[in-house]
Amino acid sequence: MNWLRTHRRTAGWLAGGAAVMVVTGALLSVSFMGASSERSPSKRAGGTSTVVAADTGISHVAVATTSLVPVFDAPGATEARQVLDNPWFVNDDPQAPAPLVFHVESADPGAAAAAGWVEVMLPSRPNGSTGWVRAADVALQTVAFGVVVDLSDHQLTVYQDGEVLFRDTVAIGKPTTPTPLGRSYIRVLLRPPGSGSPYGPYAYGLSGHSEVLNRFMGGDAEIGIHGNNDASVLGQDVSSGCIRMSNAKVTELAGKLPLGTPVLIRQ
């Protein structure tokens, strides 16, 4: 939950608490695997058009192309609300750089970019915060994937082109530290060291944060999706807010989902 609290590539902690090491090569090599070119919504059997929602079908991400990205409250604003670093460093560790990406909120990002501005979701509190960045500071890419987590039935569903790619039974936050509802996006992919990690072979950091914890193990209480070393907890409410899935499925995701992929967590 402190999303991989690393100490110069030594032991760190996630929601649920266990040692993890950042593999910086994995952060970049998997960043946009699976990113697609623009395409039309696919068709279901029988010719019925797929319903493509923002969190299940084709969407866009904005990849920072400058070392500093100012964020503004509105298009044309002259004073930045905040300035984000690119790359940013996981838990401020200079040995753990990650590219700065955003999920794009604009319904027509191409038109918005032509006008000089792009509306994006921010990795900031409160969850779901948005802002505007200059089109000159980012490059737009298309993403054909989306993730939906249904807390009531402990199901994580991955969509590709609006179609179900696969589902997995997951563990979620316990009542005192619930998994927060709402929209976020994948911000970073991390690989724990060795085998037998409590977080399995891969861990995704999301832009969302716990709504009951401000700090966790010395860092911000960020939410993640990761594997685990105890399959018996899947389907239960046991974590400090993170979403735990099967190791096989999170490994499959690591070869597909690009950073910026939207995630919807609902009841």
Catalytic residues: 226, 242
CA distance 13 to 61: 28
- CA pseudo-torsion sign 141, 39, 266, 174: negative
Helix H or strand E encompassing 28 = helix 24-29
DSSP string for 51-109: ---TTTS-EEEEEE-SSEEEEBSSTT-SS-SEEEESSEEGGG-TT-EE--EEEB--SSH
Name the amino acid, one letter, at 232: S
Residue 10 to residues 20, 27, 221, Cα–Cα distance (Å)? 7, 16, 19
The first and second tokens of residue 141, run together, are: 């890419």
